[in-house]
A = this chain, B = another copy of it.
Amino acid sequence: MDKIDRKIVNILQKNARASLKDLSKECFISSPAIAARISKLERSGVIKGYQATINLEKIDFHVKAFIQVQLEPHQKKEFYPYVQQIPNVIECNCVTGDFSEVMEVVFPSTTDLDNFINDIQQRFGKTSTQIVFSTSVNHRGVQLSEPTEKE
């Protein structure tokens, strides 16, 4: 992970479809060198994948929310496969605090959200939901700083 790798990662986080040629211009090395670095970053697991970012409104998912769930320890092994399987759950984390899980979910309407929450409550336990009004920072990567001592 040197300076050039960080630059590649930064660019690909902003535009995953950037061509090797573009990257080679930005980084001042040849495109085969870029290709080699990218495949190394992929193999080593630094780059996990590439995903198109979709405007959820445009595909009729108008409601985004955070659902917190209280879970007994033994319920996790049932909960995880369940949420992984639901396409509306776009992120799920185990966290500190009264509620052990925080899910980020999207649904076409509040009715669909309500149905889902009822299902969760029936299967697992108490929930607390925060509905999103607006998003000031859309999910993004962390831009790596240019000067880093550590090689």
Chain A residues proximal to chain B, CB less than 8 Å: 1, 9, 12-17, 44-56, 58-59, 61, 64-66, 79-80, 83-84, 87-97, 101-104, 106, 130-144
| Cβ A46 vs Cβ B59 within 8 A | yes
| Cβ B142 vs Cβ A56 within 8 A | yes
Q: For the complex formed by this chain, how many copies does it contain in all? A: 2
A132 → chain B, closest Cβ, in Å? 5
Residue numbers in B under 8 Å from A137 (CB-CB): 83-84, 89-92, 103
**How far, in whole Å, are A42 and B96 apart by their CA atoms in the complex?**
39
Residue numbers in B under 8 Å from A138 (CB-CB): 48, 91
Q: A45-B58, A66-B95, A87-B143 given as contacts; is B50 within 8 A of A15 (CB)? A: yes
Residue numbers in B under 8 Å from A46 (CB-CB): 54-55, 58-59
Q: Choose one: B50, B90, B130, B141; the contact of A95 (CB below 8 Å).
A: B130
Nearest chain-B residue to A138 (Cβ)? Answer: B91
Q: A46-B54, A52-B12, A53-B48 given as contacts; is B90 within 8 A of A139 (CB)? A: yes
